[in-house]
Amino acid sequence: MKLSIAIADTHALPSAFVVFRGFDECIPKAASLGFDGVELALKEADEINTSKLARLLSDNGLLVSCISTGQVYADSGLMFTHEDPVKREEVKQIFRELIDLAKDFGKMINIGRVRGNIGDRNKDKVEDLFVEVARELCSYAAKREVTLILEPVNRYEIDFINSVEEGVSLMKKIDMPNMRLMPDIFHMNIEDRAIGAELAKHIDYIRYIHMADSNRLAPGRGHLDFNEVFYHLLKSGYDGWVSAEILPRPDPDEAAKQTAEFLLPLIRKYNADIKTHAGRKGNGAVAQHAGLTNK
Ligand code: LER
Ligand code: MN
């Protein structure tokens, strides 16, 4: 398991939901706190100077965990499920360029609010539009070994795909090996019947996890049970990224530090256990060994 943190560059929209802003300063900071990678919040591929970013990452020994795209929607209102085919083509072109970028940076692109709202439209028709766009982009992405990861988001932000379970049924409908889910445990705390157990149940569809506490502060600052989450992840052999997407409070530096101090010891132990036991799936004893409690 590797730990990442959500960042944007200095020119990002105020609505970009990230901890740090400014690649030049925050990439070295993330590295010195012990993060393994950074999640880049982008609205278009042109924001990135690829050689400069590659140098900054390699100088600091960090990876890009994923490219997140909430800003595509926030900037232009573009969405996968737009009724107008011209608008859908516009969003597809932005995504093709982001996929080209992800080929060299992280190999994963998230789909958050850019899927769009259902509103007063027919749900099945909106879902069909989503499936059509997602399949087309997955075919493009597959040739570049990139995976699209859809994030279930709570009902107070969007009305389409709120729970992990709803996400899984859509994954089954799309039926593309490089279309997977990115659960965010903050949203799961609102929408899903459990957190750890639901993650374990649907682990084959899960490629990436957003971490925050119940109040969207750093893990450990609210009332989510991270032992329960890690217990189920270890039991199911999850060995991917977890990424801190939290409010930058009381300030970005402190929020990042609190995250690292809370999660890194858990992750070190997790990685030692998953290695010892070669991540045997479904082996509850592995998680018991790790001292993580079941709920
Ligand atoms: C994006 O990752 C997310 O979790 C959303 O809540 C942002 O609106
Ligand atoms: Mn999220």
Closest ligand 1 atom to 113 CA: 8
Domain of residue 135: give its range. Answer: 2-289
Q: What is the pLDDT of residues 98-122, one digit of tens each?
A: 999 999 999 999 999 999 999 999 9
In a domain, 294, yes or no: no
Q: How many domains does the chain have?
A: 1
Whole-angstrom distance, CA of residue 137 vs CA of residue 99: 9
Residue nearest to atom 7 of ligand 1 (CA): 17
* Alpha-carbon 164 to chain mean position: 13
Whole-angstrom distance, CA of residue 146 vs CA of residue 178: 7
Q: What is the pLDDT of residues 76-94, one digit of tens each?
A: 889 999 999 999 999 999 9
Closest ligand 1 atom to 68 CA: 2
Residue nearest to atom 2 of ligand 1 (CA): 112
CA of 283 to the centre of ligand 1 (A): 32
Whole-angstrom distance, CA of residue 8 vs CA of residue 253: 14
pLDDT over threshold 90, residue 279: no
- For residues 22 and 280, the model is more confident at 22
Give the CATH number for residue 15.
Answer: 3.20.20.150
Residue nearest to atom 5 of ligand 1 (CA): 153
In a domain, 295, yes or no: no
Residue among 140, 142, 122 nearest 81 (CA):
122
Whole-angstrom distance, CA of residue 153 vs CA of residue 148: 16
pLDDT over threshold 80, residue 286: no
Closest ligand 1 atom to 186 CA: 4
In a domain, 85, yes or no: yes
Phi and psi torsions of 147, nearest 5°: -110, 135
pLDDT over threshold 70, residue 277: no
The letter for the amino acid at 169 is: S
Query: Kindly report the CA angle at 222 between 220 and 228, in degrees rounded to 5?
Result: 65
Q: What is the pLDDT of residues 121-156, one digit of tens each?
A: 999 999 999 999 999 999 999 999 999 999 999 999
Phi and psi torsions of 6, nearest 5°: -80, 130
Least confident of 186-190, 207-211, 282-286: 282-286
How much is the average pLDDT of 220-245? 97
pLDDT over threshold 90, residue 7: yes
Looking at residue 283, what is its pLDDT?
53
